[in-house]
Chains A and B, each alone.
Chain A
Amino acid sequence: MATEKITVTVPAEVLESARAAVASGAAPSVSAYVSEAVRDRAERERLVAAVEHRWGPFDDDATDWARRIFENGDGDSRRNS
Chain B
Amino acid sequence: MNLSGRVLDVPALVDLATGRSQHMRALVGFVAARGYSLVAPATALAKAAVVADERGLQELAWAVESASVVVLALDERNAFIIGDAARQAGIRDVVDAHIARAAADRGWPIVTSAEAAMKWRTLGLAVQSLP
Contacts and interface: CB of A to CB of B under 8 A. Distances in A.
Contacts of A76: 127-129
A23 interface: no
Given A58-B22, A65-B131, A51 B32 contact: yes
Contacts of A54: 62
A74 B1 contact: yes
B68 interface: yes
A63 B19 CA distance: 14
Interface residues of B, number: 35
Interface stretch (B44-52, B76-84, B117-125): B117-125
A5 interface: no
Given A51-B68, A77-B109, A77-B127, A62 B26 contact: yes
Given A44-B33, A48-B29, A50-B66, A59 B126 contact: no
Contact of A40 (B35, B67, B121): B35
A56 B3 contact: no
A80 interface: yes
A52 to B, nearest CB: 6
Contact of A66 (B3, B19, B30, B35): B30
20 contacts: A40-B35, A48-B33, A50-B66, A51-B25, A51-B29, A54-B62, A55-B19, A55-B25, A55-B28, A61-B22, A62-B21, A62-B22, A63-B26, A69-B111, A70-B34, A74-B1, A75-B109, A78-B126, A79-B121, A79-B125
3 closest residue pairs by CB, A with B = A81-B124, A77-B126, A62-B22
